Amino acid sequence: MLATLTDRYFSDPAWVFERKLDGVRTIAVRTDGGEPQLWSRNHRLMNAAYPEIVEALAEQGGESFVADGEIVAFDGRQTSFAKLQPRIHLTDPVRARATGIQVFYYLFDLLSFGGTDATSLPLRGRRKLLERAFDFRGALRLSRYRNAEGERFLREACEKGWEGLIAKRADAPYTSGRSRHWLKFKCVKDQEFVVGGYTDPSGSRAGFGALLVGYYDDGALRYAGKVGAGYTDAALRTLKGRLDDLAVSSSPFADRVREPGSHWVEPELVVQVRFSEWTGDGRLRHPRFTGLRTDKPAAEVVRETP
């Protein structure tokens, strides 16, 4: 179940409001007492990247369940997708632990438990089952919500430097796909973009200068601008290797891109970008790279508008 962005903030006793976390959305599945499995939005198994969460689910959950939540790492008091980056792509649990990056799995919904489907229950009913289903210690955490006070809670969230809130209709069932029963209240502007190319580096910089990014609109990849800030040296090296493997001779963008020293790639990589606003001609203002996403398919990346 996916949330819809809105800029119409409200308070309502029929809704609950919880912290928007900056991590990797994850569905946890366990069947007949077997090893729990962690699945990303694009159906990628992530057990090797987060072995301690798999262990915690096996120790604290029942024999069979399907739960929804977000895997996060903290930078101080803030959840940080950038901090999580070194673990996201790992396929060896020993290397994942060796990063020293502590991760937590915040659960916020329960789809089934003990073989019984819970998706038709209202959210409050599913939450009561969730609270009883796990112990929520160690790597497992319960995502707390606040009743009714959406606008006041949003002000507090923004003052604390959070991503924002997710507003959820308390009597709604759990449905697949994007829904207006879950809404995003954002304190900052950020979203995913598809990489369609890059520019040459300048000065002492290695790898590339900026990523050329876009989003899909009716099947066409629209150009949104270049992203030249936010990269570590390690990110520049890793991304350049991926870009070289995806090189093509012509631009994948539907729009004409006039950037000197441009190179083109198959539009497969998805990156997370934070920015201040959209310009009048549909470009990103002050964009900053925050991470490479492997949990979201490129074809689903669209421009988020309230």
Which residues form the catalytic set? 20
The three-state secondary structure class of 132 is helix
Residue 170 and residue 147: Cα distance in Å, rounded?
Answer: 9
Contact 31, 211 (CB under 8 A): no
The three-state secondary structure class of 270 is strand
**Residue 183 φ/ψ, nearest 5 degrees:** -125, 145
Going through 54-132 in order, the beta strands assigned E by DSSP cover: 65-72, 74-75, 78-79, 104-113, 116-117
Contacts of 281 (CB under 8 A, 6+ apart): none
Which amino acid, residue 84? L
Distances in whole angstroms, Cα of residue 140 to Cα of each of 16, 96, 172: 21, 17, 25
Tokens of 274: 């934070």
Helices (H), 5-89: 51-60, 81-88
Residue 304 and residue 283: Cα distance in Å, rounded?
Answer: 13
